[in-house]
Structure 1
Amino acid sequence: MSVYDFREIEKKWQTKWKDNNQYKMDTRDESKPKYYCLEMFPYPSGKIHMGHVRNYSIGDVVARFKKMEGYNVLHPMGWDSFGLPAENAAIKNGIHPHIWTMSNIEEMKEQLNVLGLSYDWDREVTTSTPEYYKWTQKIFLEFYKEGLAYKKNSFVNWCPSCETVLANEQVVQGCCERCDSVVEKKELEQWYFKITDFAEDLLKDLDKLDGWPEKVKLMQRNWIGKSHGATIDFKIKDSDETITVYTTRPDTVYGTTFMVVAPEAPLARELVKGTEYEAVLDNFLTKIHSLSSIERESASLEKEGEFIGKVVINPLTGKEIPIWVANYVLADYGTGAVMGVPAHDERDNDFAVKYNFDIIPVIDENDKMINSQEFNGMTKEEAFDGIIEKLESEGKGNKKTNYRLRDWLISRQRYWGCPIPVVYCDDCGIVPVDDADLPVLLPTDVEFTGRGESPLTTSESFKSCTCPKCGKPARREVDTMDTFVDSSWYFMRYIDNKNEENVFDSDIVNKWMPVDQYIGGVEHAILHLLYARWFTKAFKKMGWTVHDEPFQNLLTQGMVLMDGSKMSKSKGNTISPMEIIEKFGADTARLFILFAAPPERDLDWSDAGVEGCFKFINRVYRVVDELSYLAGKDVEFGELNKQDQEMRAKTNSTMKKVTEDLSVKFGFNTAIASLMELVNELYKYKELDNRNEAVLKEALEAIVVIIAPFTPHLGEELWTMIGKEGSVFDISWPKYDESAIQLDEIEIVVQVNGKVRSKIMVPVEITEDEMKESALSDDRVKEFIEGKSIVKVVSIPSKLVNIVVK
C-alpha cells in the first residue's frame, strides 16, 4: 500500500495547475452563468497568518464548488499595498517602501500558492503600482468635476514631536503610537469626499442586502445615524445674528438654560473675534487638544467649559441663555452648537451642576409636558410635533432630518499613498492635472525622517511644476490619499485589469457586478464596506455602472483564537501557517480550519484537532488506494441486499447534505462531518464478504469528489488514483440518487428512562403505535423494563422511543 506523501503530492499539483493555467478564466465568456467570488485582499506584510488561511480557504471552497456547479467563476487576488507600515519600514531600515512592499508581495504570493488556492493570478492588482493608482487618480478627478471631492479646513490629530498628522487609529490613549508624545489638534486644509450626499441611499439600500449579516447592517445603520428633529434659531442678544442648533428633542426646548459650542468650531472663533475672550478660547483649546473624539463623547469624561462672553435668547421662553464652550461638544455634529437641557440630558446635567446653571424639568415621570406653556399636559410625542409647528410658524426653526455620517477625510500626510492629482497656482487656484499627464508618479528623491507634514515636501522635483491651465509656475499637492480609497473600487478593476484606456469597461463590469460572495473580517464592517458602497453609488451617478450595491452576499468569518484569545505577536500565542503546512501539509491546514467551527464563528486552535484531520486524510488516502482496483472494472448494482441498500443510502444522503451545506449555508464543518461519517461506513462495508462492488465504487467516487474542494491537492491525486482523467474540478458536481436514500427500513433509538438501551430496524411506513410495540418487544429492552411498571411511552416518529418506568 502506498503512503500519503503530502509534500510530493502538493508540489506536484501546484506545478500542474500553474503549467496548465488551471484557474485562468475569461470574463467575456457568456456560455455559463457568472459567479464572482471574492475575499478581501490583504496588506502585504510578508507573512500570512491563520486569519488569512481561514479567509482564503473559505473562499476557495466556494469558488471550486461553484465552478463544479457549472458557473463561470471569477476568483481573483491582489494587494492592498499602500500604507503606513511600508513607510515606517523605510524610516527604520532605510529601505524604499516600493522595494519592501514588492518583496513582501512575492513572499506572500508564494505562501498563498502553497495553500493551493484557485486564484486567476492573471487578474492580480497591486494598488501601489502606477498601473493601478493612475486610475485611482482618474477617479479622484472625476469626483472633483462632479463636486464629490472638495477641500476645506478641519481639525486633525497632530504630533508635535513627529511634526505630522495622525489618523485616529494612530492615536493611542491620547498619544502618538510612534513616539508617545501627547497628540494635539491642529487646523489644516484637507481633502474630502462628499459621502453625506448619499446618506439616505446608503441607509435605505441596506434593506436590499438580504445576503448580509444583520449585525453588519446594524453597525452601518448606527454609523450613518439617521435622526429626526428640528433646527432651532437662538438670537444673539444685542445682535441681528442667530445661532442655529440641531436637536432630536425639540420637546425639551423650554428646559434650555445654557448653550454649549464646540471649541474648535468656526462658530466659536467668530463669537470671540475681537474680544477679550479670544485668549479664553485659545487657552481652552490648548487644554483639550490631547482628548480624542471618542474620549470627548464618553459619558465618564469630566465636563469642563468656559463662558465666551455672549448670550442668546431662548426663542420660546424669551429668557437669556449664556454661551459656553465645552469639551464634550464636537464640531462635526450638527452646527457645532448644542442647547443645554440639564433636566433631560446626563452630560448637560453634569455640566449644569458643575457650573451652577438652572435645571428646569419639562417632562414629568408620566412623560407629560410641564413648564412648557400651552404644551403642558401633552405627551412628549404630541409636544414634539406641536413645538416644531410653533417654531416654523414664528420663523424660528424647521423640522429636520439629520445624519451622524460625516464626509470622508481622505488627505494623508504620507509618502506611501496615491498622490492627489491637483496643483496650486497663484493665479488659477486649484487646478486638476490633465488626464494625459496621469499618473502623477511618486518621486524617489524623498527623505524618510518621520518628521514633517509629508515626505513629499522634501522632493523639490515633485513639488515644483507648471500650471496645466496658464503655464506659470505652480505647486503640486503633497498629501496622498487614504488607503481606503484604493480598496473601494479594486473589485471592479479585477474584472478588467488590463484596460489601458480607462478605469474599466462599463459593459463588462455591469455584467459581472455585483460580487456574488464577498468574504472578510468583521473589522471592516463599517468603513471599508461603507466606502465601497459609496464608490458604487457615485459611479452609478456618473453613469459608469448600473448597480446600486457592490456585494450581494457577505460572509464575515470569525477570528482564529488560541486558548480563547486572539492570536497576536504581543501575546506570544501565534501559530505559523507555514510551520503547520511543513509538518502536515496545506490540505490538513485547510481541512482543520474549515472543520473546527462554522465560518462565521470564532475558531479555537487545537493541535489535537490538526493531528486528527491529518489522520483522517491518511485514512481517506488508504481506503481509496485499497479500492483503486475498481477503477477499470465495469460493475453494476444488480440485486441489492439490506446492507447494500444502507450503504447506497448513506452515500447519496451524504451527497445530498454536502450539496445543501455548500450551496445554501456554507456549512463547511457539517459537510466535513458528514464526509467523515461516510468514510467510517465505507470502512465497515468494504469488510463484508458479500459486498457489492458497484456500491463500493459509488461511495468511493463520492468521497473523492466531496473532499476535493476542501483538500484540492488530495482531491486531484485521488481522482487519478481511481482512474479518472483531467482535473476533478473540471467535472460537474455529481447529482445524488433520491430513490437510493429512501430505504424500506430505518433505524430508531430506544431509550429507557432517557438512556439508550437498544437500536432497532423498523419499516419506513410504521405507525407510532407499531413503533412503540416494536420497542417494547425488543429483547434488549425487555431486560431493562422487566419487573417494573411502565409510566408512559414517548415516541418521536421515525427517530426515537423513550420508555419511562419506575
Structure 2
Amino acid sequence: MQEKYSPAEVEQSAQQHWSASNAFKTVENDPRFPKGKYYACSMLPYPSGKLHMGHVRNYTINDMLARQLRMKGYNVLMPMGWDAFGLPAENAAIAYKKSPAEWTYANIEDMKSQMQPLGLAFDWSREVATCDPEYYRWNQWLFLKMLEKGIAYKKTQIVNWDPIDQTVLANEQVIDGRGWRSGAIVEKREIPGYYFGITQYAEELLSSIDQLDGWPDQVRTMQRNWIGKSEGVRFAFSHDIKDESGALVQDGKMYVFTTRPDTIMGVTFCAVAAEHPLATVAAKNNTKLAAFIEECKAGGTTEAELATKEKEGVPTGLFVTHPLTGEQVEVWVGNYVLMTYGDGAVMGVPAHDERDFAFAKKYGIAIKQVVAVEGESFTTDAWAEWYGDKQKCVTVNSGKYDGLNYKAAVDAVAADLAAKGVGEKKTTWRLRDWGISRQRYWGTPIPII
C-alpha cells in the first residue's frame, strides 16, 4: 500500500482498468446480474461547449444510483448522449459563421473530453446525438405514425412570434410581453404549423391525477387547473355583418362559450379578441380601433399576464343579436380576450362577472342584475362576492327563467338555445394542443426531408 495517497494516480489507474475491461458496457442477459434490467438515464445535456457544476451534480447523483444498483445485482444501463438540436446552436453558428452541425459536433467532442475524466459509469458504446440522422429518423417515424392516427395534424393558428429569433414561442416563454431569450416585443401572428392533439386525452389526464400517489396536493391542484375542465354552453349571437367581399363574417354567427348560461339575460355587451374577424372588419374604417388592435397584438399572451393587466377596450360600432331576446348587443374589442381560447369572443354580463363589472363601470356600459341571493341587496356602486354566486342564487329579471336555481336555469337556457339551433352544452379545456413547428432550421425535419 502506498504511504501517500495520490488521487490523480489512483483515478487514472482505475479509469484505465474500467476502460480496458469495458466495465460499464451493458450486455443483454448478463448472468452476473440476476435481478434483471434497470434503465438509469439522466437528462441528456445540451452541447453548449462547457460543463458546469450542475452537470457534475446531476450525473454524480445518477452515477451513485447506478453503481449501487449494480452491486445489488441489477443489469444497469446508464447511457449518455446529446440533446443537440435547438435555436441557441443555430444562433451561435450564425454568430461564428459556421454551420450548426460543425459548431454542435465540435462542442460535443469538447464536452465529452471534459466528462470522461469524471469517471462516471456511462456506457459510451450507446452514445447518441439527437442531430444524427440515424437518431432523428425515428422521431420522423413516430411523427408520421401519429399523423396517420390523427394525433398529429396541421392547422393555422395565432401564435407568439419572436421577431428577432424568428421563431414561435410558448406562452410560458413570453415574459411581460417579451421573448424570454431575445427580449424582443412578441408579436401575434397567424401562421400554419403542426400540432399534437393532446386535448384528445384531456379527460384521461384529469382523471389520472388522482392516481398520482405521493404527489403534493398543491402540485396536483396545479395540474388540474392547467388542464382546466369547464362545463357550460357554446352558442351564437347572429349578425348580418359582411366582409369586403360581401360575404357574411363567419356565416353570420359569433360564437361564445360560457359557464354561466343562467346569466344570459344579463348580457349588455360582447367582447372579441384583437384577431377576431369582426375586429378586422370594424378596424377597416376606424383608425382608433386599428391602433388599439395593434397595441393588443404586442401585449402579453398568457392568462396570468392578462389577469393582472388593466382591462381596456374599444367599441367596434358593430352589433350582434341576442339569441333569446332579439336585442342588439354592442361588440367591443377587449385586450383581455384571447383568440386562442374558445372562439375568441365572450359575452359580457357585468352584474355577475367581476371582470365584466369593472369593464362596464370604466366605460359606462349597462349593468343588469339577473341573479339574486336571498337576504342580499344588489348595487352597482361596488362589486360584491355574492354577485358571482352559483350555489344559493336564483334567476331574476329573466322572464320565463325567473326563480330557477343555477342548474335548472342552465338546463332551461341550453334547451332553448338547442331548439333554436344556435347552441348546445359543451365541455371545454384550458389545455391546448401542443404546437411543435417551432425550430427554424437546426431541428428534426418535420414531417420528413
Q: Report the TM-score, using the length of structure 1 for normalisation.
A: 0.48
Equivalence map 1:491-506=2 (5 Å): none
SS in 2 for 1:411: coil
| Structure-2 residue corresponding to 1:250 | 261
Deviations 1:107-135 (A, max 9, x none): 33333333332222222221111111222
- Structure 2, unmatched stretches of 5+, are 242-247, 375-391
CA distance in 1, matches of 2:292, 2:72: 65
Q: Which residue of 142, 147, 151 maps to 1:144? A: 147
Partner Cα distance (2:397, 2:4) in 1: 87
Greater Rg by CA = 1
Matched, 1:126 2:129: yes
Shift of 1:212: 5.4
Counterpart residue number, 1:14: 15
Shift of 1:217: 4.3
SS class of match (1:417): coil
Q: 1:94 to 1:177 in 2, by over 3 A?
A: farther
Q: Unaligned 5+ residue runs, structure 1?
A: 423-439, 441-806
Corresponding position: 1:263 with 2:274:
yes
Aligned to 1:93: 96
CA contact (8 A) 1:41 1:78 kept: yes
CA–CA separation in structure 2 for the residues paired with 1:217 and 1:53: 31
Q: Take 1:373 and 1:25, find their aligned partners in 2: how far apart are those partners?
A: 76
Amino acid in structure 1 at the alignment position of 2:111:
M
CA contact (8 A) 2:161 2:169 kept: no
Q: Any idea what SS the aligned residue of 1:299 has?
A: helix
Distance (Å, rounded) in 2 between the aligned partners of 1:352 and 1:264: 22
SS of the residue aligned with 1:118? coil
Task: For 1:16 and 1:211, locate their aligned partners in 2 and report how far apart those are by CA, in whole Å.
Answer: 42
Q: Does 1:368 align with 2:369?
A: no
Counterparts of 1:214-613 in structure 2, within 5 Å, are 216-236=219-239, 241-266=252-277, 268-269=279-280, 272=281, 276-277=284-285, 282-294=290-302, 297-364=305-372, 367-369=392-394, 370-412=396-438, 414-421=440-447, 440=449
| 2:62 is the counterpart of 1:35 | no
The alpha-carbon distance between structure 1 residues 129 and 313, as it changes in their structure 2 partners (threshold 3 A), is same
Change (3 A) 1:36 1:197: same
Q: Aligned-pair distance for 1:328? A: 0.8
Give the Cα separation in 2 of the matches to 1:67 and 1:178: 42
Contact 1:156 1:165 in 2 (8 A): no
Q: Quick one: which amino acid aligns to residue 106 of structure 2?
A: S
- What displacement does 1:177 show? 6.2
1:600-634 C-alpha deviation (Å, 9 max, x unpaired): xxxxxxxxxxxxxxxxxxxxxxxxxxxxxxxxxxx
Distance in 2, Cα, partners of 1:225 & 1:357: 30
Inter-partner Cα distance in structure 1 for 2:20 and 2:224: 48
Checking the alignment, whether the CA contact within 8 Å between 2:227 and 2:431 is kept in structure 1 is yes
CA drift at 1:213:
5.7
The answer (yes or no) to whether the contact 2:160–2:301 under 8 Å persists in 1 is no
Match of 2:138 among 118, 135, 139: 135
Closer, same or farther: CA 214–60 of 1 in aligned 2, 3 Å: farther
Shift of 1:82: 0.6
**Contact map agreement 1:295 1:301 (CA 8 A) in 2:** no
2:412 and 2:72 mapped to 1: Cα distance?
60
Q: Which AA in structure 1 matches 2:136? A: Y
Question: Aligned residues, how many?
Answer: 419
Change (3 A) 1:390 1:98: same
- Mapped to 1, the partners of 2:435 and 2:14 lie a distance apart of 47
The Cα shift of 1:321 comes to: 1.1
Structure 2 residue identity aligned to 1:149: A
Aligned to 1:72: 75
Change beyond 3 A, Cα 1:119–1:163? closer
Amino acid at match of 2:335: N
- How much has 1:338 moved relative to structure 2? 0.8
Amino acid at match of 1:342: P
Structure 2 residue 199 is matched with structure 1 residue 204: no
Contact persistence 2:194–2:436 (CA under 8 A): yes
Does 2:118 correspond to 1:115? yes
Q: Show the counterpart of 1:790.
A: none
> What is the CA-CA distance between 1:10 and the residue it aligns to?
2.4
For the 8 Å contact 1:133–1:418, the answer to whether it is kept is yes
Letter in 1 for 2:12: K
Q: CA RMSD in A?
A: 3.1
- Measured in 2, the distance between the counterparts of 1:184 and 1:256 equals 32
- Deviations 1:590-609, CA, capped at 9 Å, x for gaps: xxxxxxxxxxxxxxxxxxxx
Instruction: Please give the alpha-carbon distance, in whole angstroms, between the structure 1 residues aligned to 2:181 and 2:68.
Output: 45
Structure 2 residue aligned with 1:604: none
Q: State the alpha-carbon separation in 2 of the partners of residues 23 and 216 from structure 1.
A: 37
Higher relative contact order (CA 8 A, sep 6+): 2
1:611-667 deviations in Å (ceiling 9; x for gaps): xxxxxxxxxxxxxxxxxxxxxxxxxxxxxxxxxxxxxxxxxxxxxxxxxxxxxxxxx
SS for the counterpart of 2:192 is strand
> Post-superposition shift, 1:95?
2.8
SS at match of 1:348: helix
| SS, match of residue 412 in structure 1 | coil
What is the one-letter code of the residue matched to 1:250?
A: P
Structure-2 residue corresponding to 1:165: 167
Q: Does 1:23 align with 2:24?
A: yes
The 2-side partners of 1:279 and 1:194 are apart by 38
Aligned position for 1:5: 6
Distance 1:383 1:29 in 2: 68
Counterpart of 2:386 in structure 1 is: none
Q: 1: distance between equivalents of 2:112 and 2:216?
A: 30
How far apart, CA to CA, are the structure 1 residues paired with 2:305 and 2:355?
Answer: 9
Q: 1:711 maps to what in 2?
A: none
Q: TM-score, normalised by structure 2?
A: 0.82
Percent of paired sites with the same residue: 50
Distance 2:218 2:84 in 1: 29
Q: How far did 1:180 drift?
A: 5.2
